[in-house]
């Protein structure tokens, strides 16, 4: 096992399960101290924390919605006080609904856009301030293949992930001269999440056009995330990296 993230301090949002958990665990295995947030899943968060602390590793989990600006800022201040700062932020927390436009209520649109886009903004604002002061850090936003390719996906989810790509590029341009890199990772269908909940005919159609003829694993994407935030990737800024199995 490499230790590409040895000495790094990371915050991963939405890591009680799924891709967020996989990224948090991969970071810990590669040497980082990892803090994570979750919104509701107490049991899942406890399982993530146990795995992160395996072997005496230092980690912490906090229940905090990405839409709670005060709570997020307080959490970041606490981590910076205890750990001396944050080197890595992964904006992973997100939601979706499998609804067509005709059935979308205004509240559905607002909820997905708020969590996926506003939550990324609020968390980034809280963390990037300290990165700018310390003249270094990496923000990795978790986007989606929906948002960079024209595929069948819920319109509010698709729109929110397209916004994440734009947010990444704008923030990267703004803070790069402070030594802060901002990137976006856009996975295709994975073994959990949307890939697990798609109707069989839609999954079959996706796989038919994918070079590898399979969905991705959480750990495959987490490994890409670990490289993107590592010092080995120091010259990449503002890019959206697609990991989709060759669609």
Check 38, 157, 206, 235 and give the catalytic one.
157
Q: End-to-end CA distance of the chain, in Å?
A: 30
Strand intervals (E) in the chain = 9-12, 33-38, 59-63, 88-91, 137-142, 180-187, 240-243
Q: What is the DSSP letter of 114?
A: I
C-alpha 232, offset from chain centre: 19
Measured distance CA(78)–CA(244) in Å, rounded? 36
Helices (H), 53-198: 69-83, 106-113, 119-134, 155-175, 194-197
Triad 99, 104, 110: Cα angle to 5°:
110
Provide CB contacts within 8 A for 17, sequence distance 6+: 41, 44, 48, 192
Residue 157 annotated as catalytic: yes
Measured distance CA(162)–CA(143) in Å, rounded? 8
Provide CB contacts within 8 A for 42, sequence distance 6+: 63
Which residues form the catalytic set?
Answer: 157
């Amino acid at each position: 096992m490499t230790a590409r993230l040895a000495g790094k301090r990371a915050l991963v949002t939405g890591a009680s399960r799924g891709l967020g958990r996989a990224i948090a665990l991969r970071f810990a295995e590669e040497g980082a101290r990892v803090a994570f947030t979750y919104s509701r899943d107490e049991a899942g968060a406890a399982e993530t924390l146990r795995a992160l602390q395996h072997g005496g590793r230092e980690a912490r989990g906090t229940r905090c919605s990405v839409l709670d600006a005060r709570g997020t800022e307080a959490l970041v201040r606490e981590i910076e006080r205890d750990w001396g700062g944050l080197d890595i932020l992964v904006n992973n927390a997100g939601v979706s609904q499998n609804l067509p436009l005709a059935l979308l209520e205004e509240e559905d649109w607002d909820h997905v856009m708020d969590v996926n886009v506003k939550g990324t903004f609020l968390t980034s604002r809280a963390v990037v301030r300290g990165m700018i002061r310390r003249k270094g850090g990496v923000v990795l936003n978790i986007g989606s293949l929906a948002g960079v390719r024209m595929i069948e996906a819920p319109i509010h989810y698709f729109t929110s992930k397209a916004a994440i790509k734009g947010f990444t590029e704008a923030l990267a341009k703004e803070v790069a001269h402070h030594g802060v890199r901002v990137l976006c990772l856009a996975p295709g269908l994975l073994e959990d999440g949307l890939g697990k909940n798609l109707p069989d005919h839609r999954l079959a159609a996706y796989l038919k056009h994918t070079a590898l003829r399979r969905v991705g694993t959480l750990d495959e994407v987490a490994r890409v995330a670990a490289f993107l935030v590592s010092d080995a990737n120091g010259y990449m800024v503002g890019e959206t990296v697609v990991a989709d199995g060759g669609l």
